[in-house]
Amino acid sequence: MHTTKRQVLGGVLAGLSGAAGVGAVKAQIPSRTLTAADIVTRHIAARGGERALRALTSLRFDGGNYREPGVEGDGRAVMMLKRPYYKVVGHPLRNPDFLEGYDGAAWEWFGDPGITLRTVGAASGAIRHFADVEGPFLDYANKGSSVELVGEATIEGRRAHQLRLTMMDGYATDFFIDSRSFQIVASRHTAPIHAFGEAVTSENRFEDLRSVAGVLFPFRGREVELGTGRELNAMQWGRIEANEELPDAWFSPPIRELTPLQRFIEQLFVQRADAAAMLWTYHWFRRAHPEIDTNDAAQIAGYQALKMGDVAPATALLLRNASDQPASADAAFALGRAYAMGARAQEARAEFERALRLQPGHPRATRALAALPPSS
């Protein structure tokens, strides 16, 4: 999975409410005149002032057009925030295929196969961080965050104060606040470019400031590669609406009647830290429903468990599934991916090669095999 619209939406919102994890790049020049508290105070005033920020009850970023090399969005991206901590990416009435949000716990909704997954770890952090409509700096100490002045830097020829905001869970972001306007002009983060890839450091830059309900918001964000300045992706919002009456239900997963197979996937996922429990559920479901093909379901649950970092239980599930589906190239690939995640390169190679024997030219197995280190 390459850098997704979800990551870009979060990056664009960094101009007012955060970004992904901070990289290891240090400031260029020490800042000796202003303290971190001084800079935060001036930034809040520059955005519109404490009173205007506190008056915000909800935000809807709409008409977003996402762009990356080879990809052009349809201009319908949306993200919504609401007090006290609600957040949703997508619109439940307009984006039925995929939604993710935070209603006190992080969740992801997949229209196909029609399941809700309550996430933890990095996936949870990606959606729960920066769900405050007023941004991360107002009342940051009461939110459990701390702010450190790292120094100064230059962003596209503009001198900026470099502030590091660290949240209560240890998640840190560097913000670059223009030394003259005191607006956030960039944030720096390190993140994988796909679900299981190596982390890379890039910078989100914020432009096109406009006033909404008396508060300045960046309507455009660009993620650039550090060093070269090459644009990786961009998001342009069509409009930002403040203080609408957004139903609480929009920030929770859709309510629906589950099929047995959908329930099976959710049950496997919720038990993802317990291999024995997952295998028990798998065995008894297949025994009770021999007429239902569980191959795709097991692969979905295993993949999502891998994303949560539960590598050993996911591998056990995918091994059982591959044993039960000996003619499935996708099942072999899924098991190989699990082995690769567990640093079991030799076993991963064997499964990717088996997938290619079952389905010559299998695209994911071909790419995964090429990405493995050379065999000794």
Full DSSP string of 169-207: TS-EEEEEEETTT--EEEEEEEEESSTTS-EEEEEEEEE
Note the pLDDT of residue 122.
Answer: 85
What contacts 6, CB < 8 A, 6 or more positions away?
Answer: 89, 100, 126
Q: Which residues, including other chains, have CB under 8 Å from residue 184's CB and lie 6 or more apart?
A: 14, 15, 16, 43, 175, 176, 177, 178, 206, 218
CB 253 within 8 A of CB 107: yes
Query: pLDDT tens across 330-352, in order?
Result: 999 999 999 999 999 999 999 99
Q: Which of 56, 31, 33, 32 is nearest to 44 (CA)?
A: 56
Which residues make up the CATH 1.25.40.10 domain(s) of the chain?
A: 260-371
Helix (H) or strand (E) holding 351: helix 345-358
Residue among 207, 218, 182 nearest 43 (CA): 182
Which tokens belong to 183? 């607006």
CB count within 10 Å of CB 74 equals 8
Report the alpha-carbon distance of residue 159 to residue 320 in Å, rounded: 57
> Quick one: pLDDT at residue 202?
84
Could you list the pLDDT tens digit for every one of the 376 residues in the chain? 334 444 445 555 555 544 444 433 344 444 458 999 999 999 999 999 999 999 999 999 999 999 998 888 889 999 999 999 999 999 988 888 999 999 999 999 999 999 999 998 888 998 999 999 999 999 999 999 999 999 999 998 999 999 999 999 999 999 999 999 999 999 997 766 556 666 677 899 999 999 999 999 999 999 998 878 889 999 999 999 999 999 999 999 998 899 999 999 999 999 999 999 999 999 999 999 999 999 999 999 999 999 999 999 999 999 999 999 999 999 999 999 999 999 999 999 999 999 999 999 999 999 999 999 987 6
- Here the tokens at position 121 are 């770890």
Which pLDDT value is given to residue 26?
40
pLDDT at 3: 41
Please give the CATH number for the structural domain made up of 5-251.
2.50.20
The CATH homologous superfamily of the domain defined by 260-371: Tetratricopeptide repeat domain (1.25.40.10)
What's the pLDDT score for residue 225? 85
Asked whether the beta carbons of 202 and 226 are under 8 A apart, the reply is yes
> According to CATH, where is 2.50.20 located in the chain?
5-251
| Three-state DSSP string of 4-29 | CHHHHHHHHCHHHHCCCCCCCCCCCE
Q: What is the pLDDT of residues 72-115, one digit of tens each?
A: 888 999 999 999 999 999 998 888 899 999 999 999 999 999 99
**pLDDT at residue 96, as a whole number:** 81
Residue 120, class by beta-carbon neighbours within 10 Å (0-12 exposed, 13-18 middle, 19+ buried)?
middle
Distance CA 301, CA 278 (A): 10
The token pair at 46 is 């520059």
